Structures are given as structure tokens and as C-alpha cells.
Amino acid sequence: MTRIAIDAMGGDHAPFEIIAGAVWAAAEYGVALELVGKQDRIEHCLEVIQQEGFLSDCGKAGRRRRVRVDVKSLDIKITHASEIIEMGEAPGQAIRKKKNSSIVLTVNSVATGSSDALVAAGSTGAAMASSLFGLGRIPGIDRPAIAVTLPTMKKPIVIIDAGANSNCTPQMLRQFAIMGMTFSKNVLGVEKPRVGVLNIGEEAGKGNELAQNTYNLLEEEKEKFNFMGNVEGRELFLNLCDVVVCDGFVGNVALKITEGTSSMLFRMIKSEFKSDFLGMIIGLLAKPFMKRIYEKINYEEFGGALLLGVKGITVISHGRSRAYAIKNAVRVAKEAVETGVNSKISESIDGQK
Amino acid sequence: MTRIAIDAMGGDHAPFEIIAGAVWAAAEYGVALELVGKQDRIEHCLEVIQQEGFLSDCGKAGRRRRVRVDVKSLDIKITHASEIIEMGEAPGQAIRKKKNSSIVLTVNSVATGSSDALVAAGSTGAAMASSLFGLGRIPGIDRPAIAVTLPTMKKPIVIIDAGANSNCTPQMLRQFAIMGMTFSKNVLGVEKPRVGVLNIGEEAGKGNELAQNTYNLLEEEKEKFNFMGNVEGRELFLNLCDVVVCDGFVGNVALKITEGTSSMLFRMIKSEFKSDFLGMIIGLLAKPFMKRIYEKINYEEFGGALLLGVKGITVISHGRSRAYAIKNAVRVAKEAVETGVNSKISESIDGQK
């Protein structure tokens, strides 16, 4: 059985929501767990969940229900971790200093083969640094990158890098393209993924040095990358391509602005409907429709982003993740294990050398 | 009377919509015009508008009405330009080669004092290059930058640079902060504008080199800049600050992703309401509310972005601008003339040296 290691102490709602999401996933997807963190707190959470279950909105805004999981029937291993890496700590230093931190031991579980993949919702920097340090890079990959799946009108699009590397070279972005294509093909099932460069204009020669040089590099191997050229932010959601490469700074800004814009719009809509009595009634009628859209674009559905390029599967979840998001993150981890995305990346990189 | 020079040939809907918007603004805001472009085409457009008026949605999606303007009563000067710079041309080369292009002559009108400000909806690169070349920089400003006003839940926020400079230094971003503050204070009426750095985390030390060093630079003069630290993409719309600085590549991606996300959401909402009969009825009832939100975030309301740092007022409009957007762009140009934002920038830069 696939075993997923979970950093039970990482994230804004750790440990309870993290553990709740993990056992929920274990029951639903038939995976085994290794929960890493303060043993007494983990045991306490498991007891509460066994007895009372937990409340979750199941990704449906405002529709909370009690979820029951028979924890005793699951294959759960607990690994005690005496330390926690906090959000503010410098990742590199922190993982060297806190060898018994939950994230380091979670990664260790995958490194030693005890677990097949890991899910972490704490400090993204610490999850990346410990994965890089503990799992090592796939040969041929210079820098691992975060692949995020964004909803669009039709099928989801992959943005890579969404935050692992703030300073990049064109060669790195070329590797991101290879990893993103492998992910798109094997995990999302896109037959022949089309690659684009996130840029501020369509024409060649637009943008900063990195974007220009990446364009030239990918244009040289146009067919291999099914290269669509530059993609502007406005066109990101129009399905002009399946994989968009950019440096981690731009990718992270892009990702968070998408989140920020949609949450602002939903708040605007809510307050507009509340502006008069008729509006309140129409708003109530419109609610189920708005909810369906909310669910389509809700990051919780996607659960987590894969750190691609390390020798092991690391799923990085949103710091704000609650049980439902963690459940989906475990699903993403399981799919990544089953589709063998890492070995596929190794093969692709070998083939491209 | 304030005279605004208009590049009548620039933009996806040039020349008709550009000229229509310009004369509409002239009638409504009491400004004189200098229309620059192919004389016969401009004259023809003016005749049509005089006789038939033109259709405009007035920024209200789907509510088109016929606008009538008595062109003959307006103070309009026509300057013939035999050439046009196309969207794909390299700006620097193009403005040197096409000295009789509409954008070069439009800038020239401001440079010679014939007009007080200009509006351009064609190639952004050509508008910037010709403004920089034709008007010159304000002493103390190394690189002009584009200031864009984004709607948020409360008051609008200024993003600077939104696309003029793809490669920036921390010193440039510090100057952008000064220009953005001056704009926010004098044009938007924000008493004591708060500055933030667009970044991928809140803590100091986050982000790429540029963001880190800009943070340190502004932190040194914390009070002068009313410096709020790093602002993440998600928080952009939460009014944590009034001016956000970033390089033009990131700023342009941010701007266009905001546009892309909201237009995708509106399309999703539309298609969700169309999914069944009940939905269609509720959708019809909800339409006026959705429209009000659409109008709040519609870029056409903001009309155009100011290129700050040049010795003259250049308003750069969206390439897709139609009459209503151009009308608002002329309003922005007029306000910039009246508030004397350029001399205020000169003073601020002098005071900061």
C-alpha cells in the first residue's frame, strides 16, 4: 500500500486540520500514513477524530458537515518530532539546526523509503530546502521547481516555477518546461502538452532578458516543446498552452494575484447583492450558482503543488489548508506515486541531454 | 484652454473609436484637441460623427447607446502624419526611422508646447520611446515608469512600474516609489500614501535580489516612504498600501493577470447561469448587479496609465480601447495637467536628493 508521510505540525491549522485531512484521505483513497510531529498531540487529535469526527466545508463554501473516519481501521504510523520550523525562520539554517523538526523527519521518511511521498503545509522554503537536501536532485536537473495547476475555462494549466527559485537562468526554465510537460502528460493526462513562456507581449524580443533568452532557447527546439511562444497574463486562462514557464518570483506573484483577484471579486459580488432588499433575494437565488464557480476555482480542490526535480515526491500545500485541502493534497501525492512522474522526468531529461 | 494631443492612428479600433472618444471628452470636459494622423481619415471620421454620432457602451457592458457630439463647436486642430508605427515594430528603431509617424508627431506637439498632454493607444513601446526621446526625463529620474491605477474593495491602488522597464535596479524602484507617491497624493488625493514592495512573502529577506534590496533601501527611509514592507499578490486588493513598486515585467504580468482572472470569472459566471432554465432566469435578475461590479473593475473607467518621469504628460491607453476608454484617458490627461503632477515630481525628487 502506498504510504504518505505528513508533516502534521506545518500550516496555519496544524495539527488538527492536517491530521483530519490525512486520515480522511487514507479512508477515501486507501493509503497508509506516517504522521510526523509531537506524538502526544497527534495521538490526541486521532482520538478526538475517532470519537467525534470533524467539521469540514468539503470545499463547498459555507456547507460544513461532520466527517466521520474510523481511525482505528487505518494503517497509521506515528513518528515523533520534537522540533517545529516556524514560518519566519531562514529555511537553509533552520533545517540544518533543527534535525528533529517535523519537516526534516517527514522528508527523511521518504528518503529512507519508509514512505512513498510527503505532504507539507508549513514553511514552503523549509519544505523545499529539506526535500532538496534530504532527497537530492534528479540527475540532469539543476534546480527543482514548484508546479502549480491553475483552473481555466477548459482544462487546467500548469505554471512552473511557482515559487521555488526567485533568480533563474534560461537553461533552468528549459528544464522547468521538460518537467512541466512530463507532469502535464502523466498526471493531468494531456496528450501533447504545449509550452509557453510567461511574458509581457506576444512578439519575440519582448520582456526581460530571461524571458527573451528562454524564448530563443525553446524556439530552437520548437517541435520538441510544442512551443507556442510568449503568453501574456491575460491569455493565461484562454488555454493557448498547457504549461507556462517563468521564474519562481513571477510565478508566485501570478499565482497569488489570481487568488487575490478572484477573492476580491467574490467579495464585491457579495456586497453588491447586499446593497438592497431585492438584491438580497436575488443574491440568495444566485448563491448555488456562485458556489459552483467558487468550487471550480478554489485552491483547496487542487490540494497542493508538486515540487518537481527532487528524487522523491513532495507535495507543498497552501499554508491556510484545512482538512479538505490536505485530503486533496494526499490524493495528488498518491497520483504522483502511481504515475511515476519522477522516473518519467528522469527519462525525459536523459532523452534531452 | 487645455489642449490634448491624440495619436488618432494608434490602437485596435483606430482611428474611428479613438477620434470618437476624443471629441466626446472635448465636449464633456471642455478641452481642445490636436488629432494626429492621416488627415483625410480624421476628417472623414469627424464628418461621420457630426452627422450620425457613434455607438458606445459607455463602460456599461451591453448597454450601447448613440452618442451625439457637435464636432463643429469644438476647438480641434488636425496634424497630418503620413506614417504609422505598427504593434510588432521595435520601438527604438521605429521612432528613429518614422519621423512622420502619428505617435512621434503627437509627442512633438507636447514637446513644442502646442499641446499640454498626449493620449496614445497604439504600441506602448513606441509611445514610451518617443516620449522619452521627444520630451526628455525629469532631472533626477533615471527611468520613466508607467503608473497604473487598479480598483480594489476600497480605494484604488497604484502599481508602478506596470511595463516600461523590464530590467530594474533598487534605485530605480526607489524613484518609482517617489513618483507613485506624488501621483497618489496629487491625482488620487491620498493624504499620506503608503508604499509597499510587491514580493512573494511578507518577511524581510524574501523574494529575488531586486525585491530584497529595494526593501532594504526603502526601510532605511521608512518614514519618508510611509513604508509598509512587502506586499504579496494576494494582499494587493486589501488596501494594505497605496503605492506598490515592482519592475515593469512583474508589474505588467500582475496587471494582465488581474484582467485575465476577472474576465475568466465573469465568463464562468455567465456560463454557469446558462446551465439550466432556472439559472437563466436568476441570471437575468442578477445581471444588473453583475454589471455594476463589472463597471467597478472595468479598465475603461480608468482610461489610461500615466508615463511618469518624462517632462510632459503622456497617457498610455489599452490597445483595445474604444471611445469610452479614450474619453476617460483624456480626462486622466486633463487632471494630470491641472494637478501639475510633473512639477510635483520634480519637487519631490529635488527634495529627496
B residues 169..208 contacting A (CB < 8 A): 198, 200, 203, 205, 207-208
Classify burial at B80, counting beta carbons within 10 Å of its beta carbon; exposed 0-12, middle 13-18, buried 19 or more: middle
Higher-confidence residue: A274 or B50? B50
Q: How confident is the model at residue A117 (pLDDT cuts 50, 70, 90)?
A: very high
Amino acid at A167: N
Q: Give yes or no: residues A29 and A122 share one domain.
A: yes
Q: Which CATH number goes with the domain that contains A38?
A: 3.40.718.10
Q: Give yes or no: residues B293 and B146 share one domain.
A: yes
Q: Give yes or no: residues A130 and A147 share one domain.
A: no
Per-residue pLDDT, B264: 86
* B295 touching chain A per CB within 8 A: no
Q: State whether B285 and A289 contact (CB < 8 Å).
A: no
Per-residue pLDDT, A322: 92
Whether A23 shows a pLDDT value over 70: the answer reads yes
Per-residue pLDDT, A266: 85
Per-residue pLDDT, A296: 73
- The answer, yes or no, to whether ipTM is higher than 0.95 is no
Q: Give yes or no: residues B91 and B165 share one domain.
A: no
Task: List, in sequence order, every beta strand (DSSP E) within chain B.
Answer: 3-7, 32-37, 54-56, 65-67, 76-80, 117-120, 145-150, 157-160, 195-199, 227-232, 243-245, 305-308, 313-316
Per-residue pLDDT, B352: 60
Q: Is A291 among the domain residues?
A: yes
Q: Give yes or no: residues A167 and A53 share one domain.
A: no
* A320 touching chain B per CB within 8 A: no
Specify whether the CB–CB gap between B122 and B9 falls below 8 A: yes
Q: Is B39 among the domain residues?
A: yes
Q: Give yes or no: residues A111 and A229 share one domain.
A: no
Q: Is B171 among the domain residues?
A: yes
CB atoms within 10 A of CB A27: 17
B residues 205..244 contacting A (CB < 8 A): 205, 207-209, 211, 232-238
Per-residue pLDDT, B59: 67
Specify whether the CB–CB gap between A245 and A198 falls below 8 A: yes
Whether residue A75 is preceded by a cis peptide bond, meaning omega within 30 degrees of 0, is: no
**How far apart are the CA of B151 and the nearest CA of chain A, in angstroms?**
10
Average pLDDT estimate for A190-205 = 91
Q: State whether A234 and B257 contact (CB < 8 Å).
A: yes
* A137 vs A128: CA distance, rounded Å: 11
Q: What is the pLDDT of residues A207-239, one digit of tens each?
A: 999 999 999 999 999 999 999 999 998 888 888
Q: Give yes or no: residues B287 and B168 share one domain.
A: yes
Q: Is A24 among the domain residues?
A: yes
Specify whether the CB–CB gap between B232 and B182 falls below 8 A: no
Q: Give yes or no: residues A87 and A202 share one domain.
A: no
Q: Is A86 among the domain residues?
A: yes
Facing B166 at nearest CB: one of A208, A253, A263: A208
Amino acid at A278: L
Q: Is A182 among the domain residues?
A: yes
How many domains is chain B built from? 2
Per-residue pLDDT, B326: 95
Cα B309 to the chain's mean position, in Å? Answer: 14
Specify whether the CB–CB gap between B135 and B117 falls below 8 A: no
Give the best residue of B257, B258, B281, B292 to mutate against chain A (max A CB count within 10 A). Answer: B257
Q: Give yes or no: residues B73 and B178 share one domain.
A: no
Q: State whether B261 and A263 contact (CB < 8 Å).
A: no
Per-residue pLDDT, A352: 60
Per-residue pLDDT, B204: 83
Give the best residue of B241, B265, B281 to mutate against chain A (max A CB count within 10 A). Answer: B265
Amino acid at B67: V
Among A352, A299, A338, CA closest to A159: A299
Facing A285 at nearest CB: one of B246, B275, B282: B282
Q: What is the pLDDT of residues A288-318, one digit of tens each?
A: 888 877 777 776 677 789 999 999 999 999 8
DSSP assignment string, A237-261: GGTS-SEEE--HHHHHHHHHHHHHH
Per-residue pLDDT, A208: 92
Q: Give yes or no: residues A175 and A295 share one domain.
A: yes
Q: Is A295 among the domain residues?
A: yes
* A276 touching chain B per CB within 8 A: no
Size of interface A-B (CB pairs under 8 A): 173
Whether A65 shows a pLDDT value over 80: the answer reads yes
Higher-confidence residue: A88 or B315? B315
Q: Give yes or no: residues A27 and A98 share one domain.
A: yes
Residue B268 structural domain: 142-302
Average pLDDT estimate for A264-285 = 84
Average pLDDT estimate for A38-51 = 97
Q: How confident is the model at residue A62 (pLDDT cuts 50, 70, 90)?
A: low
Q: Is A319 among the domain residues?
A: yes
Q: What are the residue ranges in chain B where pLDDT is below 70?
A: 59-62, 299-300, 351-353
* B240 vs B194: CA distance, rounded Å: 8
Per-residue pLDDT, B313: 96
Give the best residue of B161, B239, B261 to mutate against chain A (max A CB count within 10 A). Answer: B261
Q: Give yes or no: residues B32 and B104 share one domain.
A: yes
Q: How confident is the model at residue A24 (pLDDT cuts 50, 70, 90)?
A: very high
Whether A256 shows a pLDDT value over 70: the answer reads yes
Query: What pTM does this model have?
Result: 0.88
